[in-house]
Amino acid sequence: MSDRPDETAPSASRRRGALQRIYRGETEIDFIGKRKLWFLISGTLLLACIAIITFKPLNFGIEFEGGIQIQAPVPADGPLGDTSNADVVSEVRSALEDQGADDAQIQVFTNDDGRGLTVQSKAIADPESQAQAVQIVSDTVGAPIADIGSQRIGSKWGGEITRSAVRALIIFIIVVTVFISWRFEWKMAVGALAALIHDLLITAGVYALVGFEVTPSTVIAILTILGYSLYDTIVVFDKVEEDTTLFAATGKMTYEASANIAMNEVFMRSLNTSLATLLPVGALLAVGTGLLGASTLKDLSLALLVGILSGTYSSVFVATPVLTVLKEREPRYRNVRTKVLREAQRQTAAPALAGATASSGDGSAEPVPVATSGVASHSGAASPSQVPARARVGTKKSKRRKRR
């Protein structure tokens, strides 16, 4: 038997300890200090999404661009009655290609009356082509024309739907801006809007990349995820406001340092909320799309999945860093930073000065080293949270000696 110690146990114990600290909000992650890295990641993703949308535009459905929609039964005693759903889609698509409907979206469904199918095409827009397409579907599935329903959506109606969707998005953004400015302040509204635009562009880029059709269900899903992202951002902002009022506004530490404390305290809550939401949305995407083959569920669940992931990231790594950049430019917080850094430098230098004085007295003492820890500030000096308590006590004692 080997006498070597088990090296995996301490490693596993350290991992469990790290997870427990994250869960209890006892982490010391430098969220704000690394904001340039987060901005670089977000900027790269946004540029990639804009490029994808530019070279591969979004695939808008017939509700936005116009076209026809045909609904027909698939009789059990017809030519396709014994075939699978995939064969039904293949046969109908092949028959419609001669009509010029290469873009046809075909979905087979099952109800109490048996199987049926829905055909949507943006290539067929005039009444004559619509009638021919209905006849082709009737001949292919073996259903009477009287049992087949069809409707034509004009481009004007599709344009009105588009304008309504854009109008709803603009109203949503205006209401959000007014509410956050009233509840918090306009700088937080700017941070929240940056996160919303971030989530919207990433969701649109993913949709363009995979080629999913943009339908009214997609618009509903996008408005939903923007609301979710806003909720997560508000939760984070509420904690940031609490800690910055307690520490930064009183001059105890910089706005960046107090915001960083708030982010570490609320980080696990944001993760828990996102994971609890992603589980049912992932199930909706897997079951609704993979097992049921429902295209509506596919459009809805994909937008929700991408939006929730992006919203979780943006509320932590985009909204609060943007807010910190704006707040640090305020005169009072610039003054707090100057004061804190000056005090930190004084407290750090005091032990070294005391050590030098002792050494000159008897020739045997050495300067007292000062331990620093934590995250360095942008100017290179230590923040107040980095200064050891021993240094602060030493400074007070030296001041009393001078007064005597």
The CATH number of whichever domain residue 36 belongs to comes to: 1.20.1640.10
The CATH number of whichever domain residue 103 belongs to comes to: 3.30.70.260
Q: How confident is the model at residue 289 (pLDDT cuts 50, 70, 90)?
A: low
Q: Which residues fall within 8 angstroms of residue 211, CB to CB, at 6 or more apart?
A: 56, 59
Supply the DSSP string of 287-349, one letter for each residue.
Answer: IIIIIS--HHHHHHHHHHHHHHHHHHHHIIIIIHHHHHHHHTTSHHHHHHHHHHHHHHHHHHH
Instruction: Give me the amino acid identity at 202.
Output: I
Same domain, 166 and 315: yes
Same domain, 149 and 281: no
Residue where a domain stops, chosen among 103, 120, 153: 153
Same domain, 93 and 184: no
Residue 235 falls within a domain, yes or no?
yes
What is the reported pLDDT for 13? 56
d(CA 165, CA 226): 14
Torsion of CA 261, 263, 267, 269, to 10 degrees: 90
Same domain, 127 and 199: no
264, 25 contact by CB (below 8 A): yes
Report pLDDT digits (tens) over 23-43: 565 667 888 889 999 999 999
Same domain, 314 and 258: yes
pTM of the entire predicted model: 0.71
**Phi and psi torsions of 250, nearest 5°:** -90, 0
Residue where a domain stops, chosen among 327, 359, 379: 327
Residue 279 falls within a domain, yes or no?
yes
* Number of domains comprising the chain: 2
Same domain, 167 and 46: yes
> DSSP code of 25?
T
Residue 12 falls within a domain, yes or no?
no
The answer on pLDDT for 165 being more than 50 is yes
199 vs 161, which has greater pLDDT? 199
d(CA 357, CA 369): 14
Q: How confident is the model at residue 379 (pLDDT cuts 50, 70, 90)?
A: very low
Same domain, 88 and 162: no
Other Cβ atoms closer than 10 A to 4: 6
Q: How confident is the model at residue 195 (pLDDT cuts 50, 70, 90)?
A: very high
What is the reported pLDDT for 296? 62
- Domain membership of residue 295 as a residue range: 26-59+157-327
240, 263 contact by CB (below 8 A): yes
Q: Which of 378, 393, 380, 379 is nearest to 347 (CA)?
A: 393
Same domain, 182 and 291: yes
Residue where a domain stops, chosen among 131, 153, 175: 153
Same domain, 236 and 196: yes
d(CA 287, CA 264): 35
As a whole number of Å, the CA-based R_g of the chain is: 31
Quote the Cα angle for 2-5-9, to 5°: 125
Same domain, 183 and 137: no
- Would strands 149-153 and 59-60 be described as parallel, antiparallel, or unpaired? unpaired
Q: How confident is the model at residue 292 (pLDDT cuts 50, 70, 90)?
A: low
The answer on pLDDT for 310 being more than 80 is yes
Dmax of the chain from CA atoms? 112
The answer on pLDDT for 396 being more than 70 is no
Q: Is 80 helix (H, G, I), strand (E, B) or coil?
A: coil
**Phi and psi torsions of 253, nearest 5°:** -155, 170
Same domain, 184 and 76: no
d(CA 88, CA 72): 12
Report pLDDT digits (tens) over 49-89: 999 999 998 888 887 877 888 888 888 888 888 888 888 88
